[in-house]
Amino acid sequence: MKKTTFKVHPKLAALLGENYRSSEFALRELVDNAWDAEAKNVWIVLPSILTEDATIEFRDDGTGMTPEEVRNEYLIIANNRRDRKGNTTQNGRMVKGRKGIGKFAGLFVGSLMLVETRARGKRTTVHIEKKVLAAAKHDIEDVDLPVIEEECNQEEHGTTIRIRDINQNLVFPNPDRLRLVLIMEYGRQDQFTIYVNGDKLDVSDVKGKVFTFTDVLEGLGSVTLRFVISETNQSLRQPGLAVRVGGKTVGKPSFFGLEDNGGEIPAKLLKRVYGEVEADELLDYVTADWGALIENSKPVQILEEYVRPKLEAALRGVFKNEISLAKARLQKQVDQELRRLPAYKRDYARKALDRVLTTFYALPEQKLQTLIRVLLDTIEKDEYWEIIKRLDEAQYADVATFAEALNEFGLVELAMISRQASFRLQFLTKLQELVNNPETQEKDLHLAFEKNLWLLGAEYSLMTSNRTLVSTVEKITGKREYNGENARNRPDLLLNQDRSRQYLLIEFKRPSHTITRADVAQAEDYRQALSAYLPGAAMHIMLIGGKSNVAAQYGLGEKVEILTFNDVISSAFTMLNWLLEELNHPVRHS
């Protein structure tokens, strides 16, 4: 039996350097290496203009490496530090590096890395060039790397990496994006300071509205409160306010009791808070392990009474503004939906919508549209109006009865939305059975979709097909070429219109039919023919069939969309299941 061994191709190093989603994340890998090397400071300099000789410089004051460590540890691919030295550094830091390939991160950003490291009186410089690695013919072990060894001061330590020949095919590393990436990972770390282009990383690098307060409090002394309410829903690492005493973090970040406010401030909004409180005078009120402040001490209570109202006021302001913006974005849909209801129901519908939007305002707009549509469908149910009747009666009764009725109003409101969503899920199950039946024809699915355009998304829910539009379609489909033997080729078209005279033309195909380019062209002909009866109308075409071979091979015309029945049903199932999940766990939004 013959034996063989694995070989490592020289291009592996280049490939390892391409395993990052952006230049900023690649540079973060170098910061991870500095963290593992016990660095207290990291300096990153990005050139302001991308020229041929532009250089990105990365420097840390970590332990550095001797020539022997460079050869026997740094230059060994996939040499996992955890396997060699454990999960923590000598100073107790959790080791970041896992796979031993972070050294190649610089090759994602540029083609040449100059690594200079200093430790125990030795300065070692290594040149790592991507094109040299890629050009090697055999094993990466055969690649000669230029290494320079020199004497240096015994006190010098740390590593400097210069990245040159910046990759012209990538977006140039952006200082603001880099700071945001780094603050998420390292913003809470003590004794580890990062500078980007000379500016220290701090709370304000989280993008959003910044709040800063500095005061001298009687019984406590000088206090500085700084925090940001992030402008996006991106997850923050350890959200909340951290307390720092003498530059060191005490315990975990918190929301100073606002998380127990009975749902007045949504949990999702609280989790967008990122900041810190500096109160050096609390040194005598920190537990021995620095795990917490002594809660019943008077200075700590003074701090809490100072921070909580300022944080609460800021959150309420942002909350109110974002709800207003959410309502403004959806106002057109809300107005259209309300006009469909009888006048005597609209006031209650507005109240119900306001409650739902206040609870779920942070959801994506498409999901909010679904909520609005389903909610207003439920208002037509008898159980709902029984509660409304009780509310009317309770207005003339005692306060306790009125409060009870209001509470029941809210519970039924959510319960009815849930019930409506459940009914729609049952409808989808039956529709799937219809689609799966090989005998199903276009007209069968036409009937199913005609009164249930919510299947296509909330934006289509308001569209209707009135008698005039049906007659217009009949003028097109009733032509002589679709009679007699060609009757089976007669198209099944559904023409819909919303209040702003936007039209949707749906052509249904059998579930057994695969949509082709010829079908698309035919549908565009139908649109052109219908436009003669609807001058100036904007018309969107939607072809729905069993399968499609068009999208991957051809570009589609203007306002033409191809869907399969299975795609439509799957998307509707996903949205309704999401809705039921949200309604079953309302605490997440409260």
Highest mean pLDDT among 179-183, 312-316, 500-504 belongs to 312-316
Per-residue pLDDT at 197 exceeds 90: yes
pTM of the model: 0.56
Note the pLDDT of residue 423. 81
Q: Are 370 and 388 in contact (CB under 8 A)?
A: no
Q: Are residues 69 and 188 in the same domain?
A: yes
Note the pLDDT of residue 483. 56
How confident is residue 15, by pLDDT bands cut at 50, 70 and 90? very low
Q: Within a domain: residue 383?
A: no
Per-residue pLDDT at 2 exceeds 50: no
Q: Within a domain: residue 370?
A: no
Higher pLDDT, 488 or 201: 201
Q: Within a domain: residue 70?
A: yes
Note the pLDDT of residue 551. 57
Note the pLDDT of residue 369. 80
The least confident of 4-13, 80-89, 440-449, 529-538 is 4-13
Q: Are residues 555 and 442 in the same domain?
A: yes
Q: What is d(CA 85, CA 38) in angstroms, rounded to the nearest whole number?
A: 13
Q: Within a domain: residue 56?
A: yes
Q: Are residues 44 and 106 in the same domain?
A: yes
CA 379, 383, 385, 389 torsion-angle sign: negative
Task: Return the percentage of the chain with pLDDT > 90, whole number.
Answer: 24
How confident is residue 56, by pLDDT bands cut at 50, 70 and 90? very high
Q: How far is CA 107 from the centre of its chain?
A: 28
Which tokens belong to 333?
Answer: 């849909």
Secondary structure of residue 240 in the 3-state scheme? strand
Q: Are residues 152 and 173 in the same domain?
A: yes
Q: What is the pLDDT of residues 217-276, one digit of tens each?
A: 999 999 999 999 998 766 677 899 999 998 888 889 999 988 876 667 888 889 899 999
Note the pLDDT of residue 122. 94
The least confident of 256-265, 404-413, 449-458 is 404-413
Q: Are residues 163 and 39 in the same domain?
A: yes
Q: What is the pLDDT of residues 426-445, one digit of tens each?
A: 888 888 988 898 888 888 88
Note the pLDDT of residue 529. 86
Per-residue pLDDT at 383 exceeds 80: no
Per-residue pLDDT at 409 exceeds 50: no
Per-residue pLDDT at 5 exceeds 50: no
**Which of 196, 214, 245 is the endpoint of a domain?**
196
Q: What is the pLDDT of residues 280-304, one digit of tens each?
A: 999 999 988 888 898 889 999 999 9
Q: Are residues 158 and 223 in the same domain?
A: no
Q: Within a domain: residue 87?
A: yes
Task: Find the domain containing 293 and state its range.
Answer: 203-304
Note the pLDDT of residue 281. 92
Total domains present in the chain: 3
**Which of 257, 281, 304 is the endpoint of a domain?**
304
Q: Are residues 140 and 32 in the same domain?
A: yes
Q: Within a domain: residue 133?
A: yes
Arithmetic mean of pLDDT over the chain: 80
Q: Are residues 534 and 466 in the same domain?
A: yes
Q: Within a domain: residue 348?
A: no
Three-state SS annotation for 476-544? HHCCHHHCHHHHHHCCEEEEEECCCCEEEEEEECCCCCEECHHHHHHHHHHHHHHHCCCCCCEEEEEEE
Average pLDDT over residues 505-526: 89
Strands 492-497 and 56-60: unpaired
Q: Are residues 118 and 23 in the same domain?
A: yes
Q: What is the DSSP string of 172-222?
A: PPPHHHHHHHHHHHHTT-TT-EEEETTEEP-GGGSSEEEEEEEEEETTTEE
Average pLDDT over residues 461-485: 72
Per-residue pLDDT at 154 exceeds 80: yes
Per-residue pLDDT at 158 exceeds 80: yes
How confident is residue 78, by pLDDT bands cut at 50, 70 and 90? low
Q: What is the pLDDT of residues 554-566, one digit of tens each?
A: 556 668 889 999 9
Q: Are residues 58 and 26 in the same domain?
A: yes
Dihedral-angle region of residue 501 (phi above 0 means left; psi in -120 to 50 means alpha; beta otherwise): left
First-residue to last-residue Cα distance in the chain: 68
Q: Within a domain: residue 378?
A: no
Q: Are residues 159 and 263 in the same domain?
A: no
Q: Are residues 233 and 152 in the same domain?
A: no
**Which of 162, 196, 230 is the endpoint of a domain?**
196
Note the pLDDT of residue 275. 92
Provide the CATH number for the domain around residue 89. Answer: 3.30.565.10
Single-letter code of the amino acid located at 583: L
